[in-house]
């Protein structure tokens, strides 16, 4: 078996074959392979011995393969009742009907039960067909990838319309494993899924499905094609990660405990803070995860008061500098160190008015002065790097979430110049907290901003290697067009994707990066790899100038938190495969012995 597995690995150049080699998961080649997925908050890789079920389920309910799904037993249901009786009742409903569903859907099972039961029936039917398929190569359906502009929400689900003969609408046209890259705009998950199911469950969903369309089951269209039903036919949308009251309750209980379990907090934060919860949830979660607040509740108040006093002392120390006009910063008697400080402050004052101009609050003189103080004090206290353009962008998420929490309203509605809404004392607390939280993030990536920016250079090289492993066709095209990865990805690492995504998407992405150990220094490279590979089908049709223009402003303005979750899920798969296996990125032809 090991020899047969090694032969498969040598013939293969794609991601999931490598995963089978890494973890020694040698499926029986005369059957549909077992499904490779993750379970539970531990986010560990495992195998589910139900060939085709997860793959078919993915196509029917549009959930990615790395979302946790649970099959309830009576013991588990009874344990749920120890902390939430209503959730126990809903879990009992799932158990009684034999449903394996996502935890986040459980809270909405009363409304979703008819759809889930219908979906279960389709899954069981599809599984029977998958198991009856003979192994072998199949023909890749022809698809015009220009029909749909791919977005992360479509990765693994945005398949083209596939005409099928009259009869069972779940009839499939499996993919040729050797051809899964060509012609498909399904993205990374599409290719992973094709391999995982042996090609035998590759439904191709309607091309007219848009990035914002909710999860839906497949139905037969009037033309005999597999397609999405309309919104009115489908009824209520599946809840997004942002509308989960169970997670809100868990976060609050955890953060209000006498001793916060930071590991558990990071597991919850990894999946995102609900966007429609009270604004203080994300703020406190970030403070704890970053280490700004201690986990012991009885020390939190004294710690934050002490840090605020320290920052106030710093602002007084540099008060004279802040009072200088730009014209006053060029005295002939200034020392070299003073000249460097003047240069930093001048650059900060140039950059701040250009920071996040989409939001009115950043045009306020009050906010600009606050940001000037934060950035200058950080630069002076970190002379190894000093101030570098881009750090001003990194401050904006902290300013936004802290202001929202302090005022208790969405950032777009805050009149920051109205002292009745935002007093000077409140703003001073926001300023201090923003400074310390920014400092915690930058402490892990300071080599991004030291001379020569070695941290970014290292990530650029790793990004190039990952893309070559994941999407060789795209990598060759970029090489043929003489694209330097530094030219397109430098800003991604320098500004941690802040200039590439809408604000709400950035906050969701940062939830995971802050929760992930070394999230901004390690996990970010896999996020960027997934981001780049996502645009592969379009980039392969572009020349040098078109590619450079494309990445000046990638078309992400309509992305949502759901899109970011898919991007993060892809990044997690890549990290799980490659983070502890650097040799895989150095030698494509190496053969890995099964473990």
The tokens for 96 are: 């009684």
Distances (CA, A) of 578 to 18, 145, 519, 539: 9, 29, 15, 24
The burial of 394, by beta-carbon neighbours within 10 Å (0-12 exposed, 13-18 middle, 19 or more buried), is given as buried
- Among the listed residues 36, 63, 47, 476, the one whose alpha carbon sits nearest the alpha carbon of residue 241: 63
Residue that is written with structure tokens 């004052």 in the block = 349
pTM for this predicted structure: 0.61
Residue 154 in contact with residue 211, Cβ under 8 Å?
A: yes
pLDDT at 297: 93
Residue that is written with structure tokens 């389920």 in the block = 57
Q: Which one-letter DSSP state was computed for residue 562?
A: H
Per-residue pLDDT of the chain (595 residues; tens, 9 = 90+): 444 444 444 444 334 443 433 333 333 333 333 333 333 333 333 333 333 434 433 333 333 333 445 566 788 778 777 766 777 888 888 888 887 665 556 666 777 788 778 777 776 776 666 566 655 444 433 333 333 333 333 333 322 322 223 333 333 333 222 232 333 334 454 444 333 333 322 222 222 222 322 232 222 233 322 222 233 332 332 233 444 677 778 888 999 999 999 999 999 999 888 665 678 999 999 999 999 999 999 999 999 999 999 999 999 998 888 888 877 776 666 777 778 888 889 999 999 999 998 899 999 999 999 999 999 999 998 888 899 999 999 999 999 999 999 999 999 889 999 989 999 999 999 999 999 999 999 998 988 998 888 999 999 999 999 999 999 999 999 999 999 999 999 999 999 999 999 999 999 999 999 999 888 989 999 999 999 999 999 999 999 999 999 998 899 999 988 899 999 999 998 888 887 654 544 444 333 333 2
State how far the Cα of 394 lies from the Cα of 392, in Å rounded to an integer: 5
The tokens for 56 are: 């078919």
Q: For the chain, which domains are there?
A: 2-234 (no CATH), 244-447 (no CATH), 454-586 (1.10.472.80)
The tokens for 34 are: 């077992």
pLDDT at 42: 32
Dihedral over Cα of 422, 424, 426, 427: its sign: positive
Residue 388 in contact with residue 381, Cβ under 8 Å?
A: no
């Amino acid at each position: 078996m090991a020899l047969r597995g090694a032969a498969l690995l040598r013939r293969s150049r794609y991601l999931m074959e490598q995963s089978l080699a890494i973890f020694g998961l040698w499926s029986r080649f005369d059957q549909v392979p077992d499904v490779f997925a993750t379970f539970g908050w531990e986010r560990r890789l495992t195998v589910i011995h139900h060939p085709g079920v997860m793959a078919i389920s993915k196509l029917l309910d549009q959930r990615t393969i790395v979302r946790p799904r649970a099959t309830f037993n009576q013991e588990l249901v009874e344990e749920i009742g120890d902390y939430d009786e209503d959730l126990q009742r809903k879990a009992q409903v799932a158990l009684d009907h034999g449903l394996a569903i996502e935890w986040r859907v459980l809270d909405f099972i009363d409304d979703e039960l008819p759809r889930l039961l219908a979906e279960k029936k389709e899954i069981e039917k599809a599984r029977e067909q998958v198991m009856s398929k003979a192994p072998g190569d199949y023909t890749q359906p022809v698809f015009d990838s220009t029909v749909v502009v791919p977005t992360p929400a479509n990765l693994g689900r945005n398949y083209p319309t596939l005409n099928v003969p009259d009869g069972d609408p779940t009839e499939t046209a499996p993919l040729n494993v050797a051809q899964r890259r060509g012609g498909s705009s399904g993205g990374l998950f599409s290719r992973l899924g094709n391999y995982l199911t042996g090609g035998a469950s590759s439904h191709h969903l309607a091309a007219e499905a848009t990035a914002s369309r909710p999860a839906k089951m497949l139905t037969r269209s009037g033309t005999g094609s597999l397609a999405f039903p309309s919104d009115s036919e489908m009824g209520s949308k599946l809840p997004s990660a942002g509308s989960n009251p169970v997670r809100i309750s868990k976060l609050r209980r955890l953060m209000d405990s006498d001793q916060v379990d930071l590991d558990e907090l990071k597991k919850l934060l990894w999946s995102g803070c609900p966007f429609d919860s009270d604004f203080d949830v994300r703020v406190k979660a970030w403070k704890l995860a970053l280490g700004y607040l201690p986990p012991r509740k009885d020390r939190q108040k004294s710690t934050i008061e002490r840090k605020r006093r320290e920052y106030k002392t710093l602002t007084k120390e540099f008060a004279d500098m802040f009072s200088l006009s730009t014209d006053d910063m060029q005295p002939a008697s200034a020392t070299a160190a003073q000249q460097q400080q003047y240069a930093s402050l001048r650059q900060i004052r140039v950059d701040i008015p250009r920071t996040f101009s989409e939001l009115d609050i950043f045009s306020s003189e009050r906010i600009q002065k606050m940001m000037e103080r934060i950035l200058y004090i950080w630069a002076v206290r970190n002379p190894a790097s000093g101030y570098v353009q881009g750090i001003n962008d990194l401050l904006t998420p902290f300013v936004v979430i802290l202001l929202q929490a302090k005022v208790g309203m969405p950032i777009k509605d805050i009149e920051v110049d109205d002292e009745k809404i935002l007093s000077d004392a409140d703003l001073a607390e926001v300023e201090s907290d923003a400074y310390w939280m920014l400092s915690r993030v930058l402490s892990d990536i300071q080599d991004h901003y030291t001379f020569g920016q070695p941290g970014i250079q290292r990530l650029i090289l790793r990004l190039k290697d990952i893309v070559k492993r994941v999407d060789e066709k795209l990598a060759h095209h970029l090489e043929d067009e003489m694209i330097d990865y530094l030219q397109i990805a430098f800003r991604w690492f320098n500004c941690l994707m802040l200039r590439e995504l809408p604000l709400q998407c950035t906050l969701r992405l940062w939830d995971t990066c802050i929760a992930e150990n070394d999230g901004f220094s390690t996990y970010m490279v896999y996020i960027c790899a997934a981001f780049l590979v996502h645009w592969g089908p379009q980039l392969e049709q572009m020349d040098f100038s078109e590619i450079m223009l494309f990445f000046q402003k990638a078309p992400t303005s309509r992305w949502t938190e759901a899109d970011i979750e898919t991007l993060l899920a892809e990044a997690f798969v890549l990290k799980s495969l490659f983070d502890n296996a650097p040799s895989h990125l150095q030698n494509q032809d190496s053969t890995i012995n099964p473990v």
